[in-house]
Structure 1
Amino acid sequence: MSDKQLATVAVRKGIESDSQFNAVVPPLYLTTTYGFSQLGDVPTFDYSRSGNPTRNMLGEALAEMEGGAAGVVTNCGTSAINLLATALLGPDDLLIAPHDCYGGTYRLFNSRAEKGDFKVCFVDQTDPLALAEALALRPKLVWVETPSNPLLRIIDIAALCRQSAEAGALVAVDNTFLSPILQQPLALGADFVVHSTTKYINGHSDVLGGVLVSKDPEQGEQIAWWANCIGATGAPFDAYLTLRGLRTLAHRMRGHEENSLAILAFLQQQPLVGHIYHPSQPSHPGHDIALRQQKGFGAMLSFELAGSMEQLETFVRELRCFSLAESLGGTESLICHPASMTHRAMSDEAQQEAGLKPTLLRLSVGLEDPQDLIADLAQAFAKSAEVAV
């Protein structure tokens, strides 16, 4: 663990590391291959799929921020998840995953299990009995998503890690929604942390990427070997842009969170807003756990529209400061309809079991002026209220 604050690590990583021209900002290495000094020698870098100075610098920065031993940067978040499954799991191994996880994660685990690559058990990890029954099956890996996407359910990471260790299982936590600025799962007992760096870490909606951080150095080497073997590593230019985005992460997260809390207060007063999902609310399941393991509540929130689908469609259509789009964590505000967008890979039955209703909307609150965001929401609600039910 670094003795520096996380914001300092994010800003300073690689600064003044250029020994050739003394550039303050580290250079971008776009080369695919590297020279060998002589026959028989193996240099630090030989081919950019297996190692690249720019990509390695990003991996080292994220590992340091998460308190891990090694970070492998991949070409997208799903690739990081797939890399972990590939490196750890065989046909007889069981993976436990949350029943309400991100739709792409659900699709990946379910599809690979159907192929016979490993076994998967989707379970409500907030249900102590269901979780205990799943752990009794002696899984190899437990996948955790907290806060969950899109219902922001909270899992007690430390407690689950203790239970998983007793069952002989490793634990991996998707930390995409909070970033290392607001949550550090390895310090709570997890073995791996995964991020879609596409989201808050890059922060500008212009680069796909992922990272898999390992607590144990040997497991980190194993992950890196598999990343090279299957070609999961990210591109140098993407790593360069992501490292640039990382430098402002701490300040962006504060701005995102301030805006989201302002919008939350507004939504709580709207007659067309039904149930709101946000861990800051005392009534939110796991609120006390969030206070204990998180340094903030993040900028994601979801709510159910208390009206018809016609009113929901009108509301979304009338928005001007919220773009209807998938993804999250960029400077711009986004609105998403999980049932038809991010989670459409799940069957209707799976969505229902996970608690995803057709009237659910998810907001990724950006860095626009909160007054403009609230005014935009207000006018869209007003237009929706004019629609006959």
Structure 2
Amino acid sequence: MNIGTKLLHIGNEVDKMTGAVVPPVHYASTYKQTKATDIGPYEYSRGQNPTREILEESIASLENGSHGFAFSSGMAAISSVFMLFAPGDHIVACADIYGGAYRALTGLFNRFDIEVTFVDTTDLSNIEKAIQNNTKAVYLETPSNPLLKITDLKGAAQIARDNNLLSIIDNTFMSPLLQRPVDLGIDIVVHSATKFLAGHSDVLAGLAVVNDEKLAKRLKFVQTSFGAVLGPQDCWLTLRGIKTLKARMKEQEESAIKIAEWLSEDSRVAEVFYPGLPSHPGREIHLEQADGFGAVLGFKVKNKNKALKVMENVKIPVLAVSLGAVESIISYPTTMSHGSVPDDVRKGLGIEDNLIRLSVGLEDVNDLIEDLDENLE
């Protein structure tokens, strides 16, 4: 089936007990066993829950992987993946990753003697140069947050395989609707399902997908041991959000393209970051590995004061962290998504005080443009 159909017909959308077309929410924390020496598939909800199982099977199917895992947040998913590594291990990561992932690697996992080197992965040779004897993984985002830089996933995955490394990608911006990294050779895909997958700013959730039995067992051990699992109600809400992903994201993408094109022609805007623009340096690579451009864009205005004025005075987009919701969300990477990144590092990446990130929602695109136009004046 095509991905648009799979979003609705993954194979577990009908309850086998009742025929209900909406899966039940199983709130049970524990499950009766028939024998003390023969434990069934459900024992304790930290280990497995029927509602969570449906979500995990769904995301695995959508990403063309073999096993899915649901966590209590996007960062819980990312951090659980980082727990696959041991003291003395080294990770090569793309330089402009989400600030929360940067914070976890440099402020938490470094305490456990896990090393990281940040490089510009738009040039694959930088990955190869950064590999050390103790390197165990390559961690990627493409498009990256918030500058929408593009990394060649097939090329990066091949480098990882050639060096016996795991390849990991945060696929939040694209979702499996637009990009399926497992098909490109990536070993682990993570999502902040809070964003496009759930899509309504009412769920905190993280997901991970692998396509290898041994790797799945390792990650399942972390999930069960660490216990940062997603509750059944949030699993159900995420499943509901996934059903409308195509309808939402295609509409949002169309609006994002129009807004990016309009911004790129406006003299009051210094620079626009969006892979849907012909001028984007990674556009051709992106088109080879993705089915669309997404609904998140960045743009720079002439200075910090103008950026603050625009964000604080627009009437339609919500000034907030997060993205991927039905409502447009405008945010300030300097203090929000990348507020935990040191100033010198952040500015060195091009994430400057005049940068605005916009996640385009389902509002009328002409109203959004008019709102931006009025506040750019």
Q: What TM-score range do you get, normalising by the shorter chain?
A: over 0.9
Contact 1:204/1:245, CA 8 A, preserved across alignment: yes
2:359 maps to: 364
SS class of match (1:61): helix
Give CA-to-partner distance per residue, 1:259-314, whole Å, 9 cap, x none: 101111221232211111111222212111011111000011001002x3222222
Identify the match of residue 229 of structure 2 among 214, 228, 233.
Answer: 233
The more displaced of 29-38 and 108-117 is 108-117
Contact 1:18/1:26, CA 8 A, preserved across alignment: no
Identify the match of residue 132 of structure 1 among 121, 128, 131.
Answer: 128
1:290 partnered with 2:286: yes
Identify the match of residue 8 of structure 1 among 5, 18, 31.
Answer: 5
Corresponding letter in the other structure for 1:215: N
2:22 maps to: 25
The more displaced of 4-13 and 58-67 is 4-13
Contact 1:103/1:342, CA 8 A, preserved across alignment: yes
1:74 maps to: 71
1:213 partnered with 2:209: yes
SS class of match (1:281): coil
Contact 2:90/2:132, CA 8 A, preserved across alignment: no
Give CA-to-partner distance per residue, 1:173-199, whole Å, 9 cap, x none: 110000001001010010010000000
Corresponding letter in the other structure for 1:330: A
- CA RMSD, 1 decimal: 1.3
Q: In structure 1, what is the Cα distance between the partners aligned to 2:287 and 2:206? A: 27
Percent identical pairs in the alignment equals: 38
Q: In structure 2, what is the Cα distance between the partners aligned to 1:253 and 1:101? A: 22
Q: In structure 2, what is the Cα distance between the partners aligned to 1:16 and 1:41? A: 28
CA pair 233-186 structure 1, distance change in 2 beyond 3 A: same
State how 1:70-219 maps to structure 2 within 5 Å. 70-86=67-83, 88-137=84-133, 139-219=135-215
The more displaced of 244-253 and 4-13 is 4-13
Corresponding letter in the other structure for 1:367: L
1:309 partnered with 2:304: yes
1:349 maps to: 344
State how 1:264-279 maps to structure 2 within 5 Å. 264-279=260-275
Identify the match of residue 314 of structure 2 among 316, 319, 322.
Answer: 319
1:381 partnered with 2:376: yes
Q: Which runs of 5+ in 1 are unaligned?
A: 383-389
The more displaced of 108-117 and 324-333 is 108-117
Corresponding letter in the other structure for 2:55: L
Contact 2:307/2:355, CA 8 A, preserved across alignment: no
SS class of match (1:282): coil
Q: In structure 2, what is the Cα distance between the partners aligned to 1:297 and 1:89? A: 32
SS class of match (1:140): strand
SS class of match (2:326): coil
Instruction: Provide the aligned length of Structure 1 versus Structure 2.
Output: 376
Q: In structure 1, what is the Cα distance between the partners aligned to 2:155 and 2:94? A: 15
CA pair 347-42 structure 1, distance change in 2 beyond 3 A: same
The CA deviation at 1:120 is 1.0
Corresponding letter in the other structure for 1:351: R
1:259 maps to: 255
SS class of match (2:135): coil
Give TM-score scaled by structure 2 length: 0.97
SS class of match (1:320): coil
Q: Which runs of 5+ in 2 are unaligned?
A: none
Q: In structure 2, what is the Cα distance between the partners aligned to 1:45 and 1:375? A: 53
Contact 1:113/1:120, CA 8 A, preserved across alignment: no
Contact 1:138/1:168, CA 8 A, preserved across alignment: no
Q: In structure 2, what is the Cα distance between the partners aligned to 1:44 and 1:168? A: 33
Corresponding letter in the other structure for 2:23: P
Q: In structure 1, what is the Cα distance between the partners aligned to 2:166 and 2:26? A: 35
SS class of match (1:342): coil
Contact 1:144/1:174, CA 8 A, preserved across alignment: yes
2:329 maps to: 334
Q: In structure 2, what is the Cα distance between the partners aligned to 1:43 and 1:129? A: 49
Corresponding letter in the other structure for 1:33: T
Contact 1:325/1:334, CA 8 A, preserved across alignment: yes
CA pair 168-272 structure 1, distance change in 2 beyond 3 A: same
Q: In structure 1, what is the Cα distance between the partners aligned to 2:73 and 2:286? A: 27
Contact 1:176/1:194, CA 8 A, preserved across alignment: yes
Corresponding letter in the other structure for 2:53: N
Give TM-score scaled by structure 1 length: 0.94
